[in-house]
Structure 1
Amino acid sequence: MKKYSGLLLALMTCMSFPSSVFAQDDRAALVPLPSLDDFTRGEDGWGIGLGAGIEYESAYEGADEFAVEADPAGAVQWRSGDNIFYWAGEALGWRGLRSDIWLFEATVAFEEGREESDSDDGNLDGLGEGEEGVEFVLQARRAFQADWRYWLDGRLVAGENGNQALFGAGYRFGSQNDGTGSEIAFAVVFHDSDYANKDFGVTAAQSEASGLPETNLSGGFRSIGFNYNYRNNLTANWQIFGEAVIEYYSSDVQDSPIARQDYEAEVGIGVIYVF
């Protein structure tokens, strides 16, 4: 993880500034978690945030190559009481708060397929293009108290290319209620055989074309993961965000010839203008 130390240090440095330095509205977000953006400033109606981020990440699932990628960031949101409807890139969704300690979310998203060109070293040559598809994501988070200091997370991803489930827990730092600050989370991930082979399987035809051994994975335990999120207001309109993620694969996944590393990692930072 030495490659990530510079960006992580930058994120931690940002955390060291007291919130009084920045001009920010202390109005309540739907849920005060940095991982859940809320651009509505605590009011009903439209909330729009547009920006961009830079990520240093694994080139594909299981890659031993890393790449720098610039991506758009932000969302268009509509808030009505304890409900937010949003459009964020290739995802349309809803999230709603219930009883102060329950958050539910439903999303329809487009999943981009893997491409042979994702590997500059030619490690994906002969495997063909991965299939694109639509995914449906259902999520529930439960806080232990209304301040969302500690919370549990459950998520189901169902799509054309397989299904995945996640169970996690998180902790929020700071006492802000406007969605700024930082949080950490740990998760355990499971997948079915279709989802497993989408990323790590090798069919007979792919084996012949690539020279990799034919591989057929069964469903079950996929990985454990750690996630760190950071968000803060630089001015009344400009917001900075950052994220660091590492996912450590199960032994079954590690045995796949496509998994050239035992883990996948990503670190990123960006800015958003909130209208």
Structure 2
Amino acid sequence: MSPTKITLVRPTRATLLAMAIVALTLATSQAADLDEQDAVAVPPSQRFDNGRFGAVGQRLHEWNVVVGAGAMYAPKFEGSDEFEVRPIPVISARIGDRIGIDPTGLTVDVLQSNGFTLSVKGGYEMGRSEDDSDHLRGLGDVDAGAAIGGKLSYQVGPAELYASIDKTIGGSEGLVGKLGANVSQRYDRFILSAGASATLADDNHMESYFGVTSEQSARSGLRQYDAGAGLKRFDVEASVTYMATENWLIRGQAGVGFLTGDAADSPIVQDDVQPSAMLMVGYKF
């Protein structure tokens, strides 16, 4: 009998960063629990000043934390016709009424009025490695970079309309905007959600991910191509979340993106239809 062959999927940089966020959150919680357990044994003069630093010791349930893990089936890169299954740790937290944390970064609501919310956010753009696919060999890497931006949303009943803009510092140095709508409704133990969006990008972003310079063309064999600013893609997605208990949840999500304009015409793009699916199990504190 031949030995069983096991194929391991190399975690992406986004996966590793999400794992770090999970570890940091859990470490903070454990440290807070230890402070509570040791309080009796430590003299009052040496105890932690909860009056000044109480926010650090907030419990996970006060932060509305969800921790989970799952798997995603998605293209190897934007425009790829090859797919891979990769593990995805999931962490999200809502601190108070205005601060949100998830694997993509930090969001702070700076203004809330009559259904409108204006938010600022900070995160990252993961870039792209030519090692992600043989098709990318010779194109070089698109470096990761920090991202800062803002979002304006309007909530009306179960629907949300939004517009966002993000600027990458480093990496592509690109500017990306998104217009979209989401709707979510709960039925007993099920939460049903659906959304649609359009993504626009400037010259820097488009040229970084879809352009091919003369040097890249010589190395990769792809034809030279200039990608200009404009509408990059449309996306639609839907998800079902099942609340198995008060704390445990199971979520399935599927979506499809349609590259358009200069992105769809790029020689880097093998397929302008980009489906994906995800299944995860989470625990809500």
TM-score normalized with structure 1 length: 0.74
> Which residue, out of 172, 197, 215, partners 1:205?
215
Aligned-partner SS, 2:267 = coil
Q: Distance in 2 between matches of 1:269 and 1:96?
A: 33
Check the 8 A contact 1:44/1:78 in 2, yes or no: no
> Is residue 2:71 matched to residue 1:59?
no
> Which residue, out of 41, 46, 68, partners 2:63?
46
The Cα offsets for residues 103-151 of structure 1, whole Å up to 9 and x where unpaired, read as 33322112222112211xx10111112111011131122123xx3x233
Residue in structure 2 matched with residue 263 of structure 1 by the alignment: 273
Check the 8 A contact 2:124/2:168 in 1, yes or no: no
Check the 8 A contact 2:73/2:86 in 1, yes or no: yes
Q: CA deviation at 1:93?
A: 2.2
Residue in structure 1 matched with residue 206 of structure 2 by the alignment: 196
Task: Provide structure 1 residue ranges, at least 5 long, that are not aligned to the other structure.
Answer: 1-42
The Cα offsets for residues 233-263 of structure 1, whole Å up to 9 and x where unpaired, read as 2112112222222111113222101010012
Q: How many residues in Structure 1 have an aligned counterpart in Structure 2? A: 223
> Which residue, out of 94, 112, 129, partners 2:141?
129
Aligned-partner SS, 2:150 = strand
> Which residue, out of 113, 129, 132, partners 2:127?
113
> Is residue 2:167 matched to residue 1:158?
yes
- 1:1-275 map, 5 Å: 45-79=62-96, 82-83=97-98, 85-89=99-103, 91-95=105-109, 98-99=112-113, 101-119=115-133, 122-144=134-156, 147=157, 149-160=158-169, 161=172, 162-174=174-186, 181-275=191-285
Q: CA deviation at 1:48?
A: 2.1
TM-score normalized with structure 2 length: 0.71
Q: CA deviation at 1:175?
A: 6.0
Moved over 4 A (4+): none
Matched AA of 1:136 = I
Residue in structure 1 matched with residue 40 of structure 2 by the alignment: none
Residue in structure 1 matched with residue 54 of structure 2 by the alignment: none
Q: Distance in 1 between matches of 2:62 and 2:235?
A: 35
RMSD (CA atoms): 2.3
Task: Provide structure 2 residue ranges, at least 5 long, that are not aligned to the other structure.
Answer: 1-59
Give the helix-richer structure, 1 or 2. 2
Larger radius of gyration: 2
- Percent identity over paired residues: 26
Aligned-partner SS, 1:252 = helix
Matched AA of 2:168 = G
Aligned-partner SS, 1:253 = helix
Matched AA of 1:65 = E
The Cα offsets for residues 154-174 of structure 1, whole Å up to 9 and x where unpaired, read as 111111220111112233334
Aligned-partner SS, 1:123 = helix
Q: CA deviation at 1:95?
A: 3.7
The Cα offsets for residues 68-115 of structure 1, whole Å up to 9 and x where unpaired, read as 011110224321xx32x2332351222467235223332211222211
Q: CA deviation at 1:44?
A: 9.1
Larger RCO (CA under 8 A, 6+ residues apart): 1
Q: Distance in 1 between matches of 2:253 and 2:111?
A: 24
Residue in structure 1 matched with residue 46 of structure 2 by the alignment: none
Q: Distance in 1 between matches of 2:117 and 2:240?
A: 20
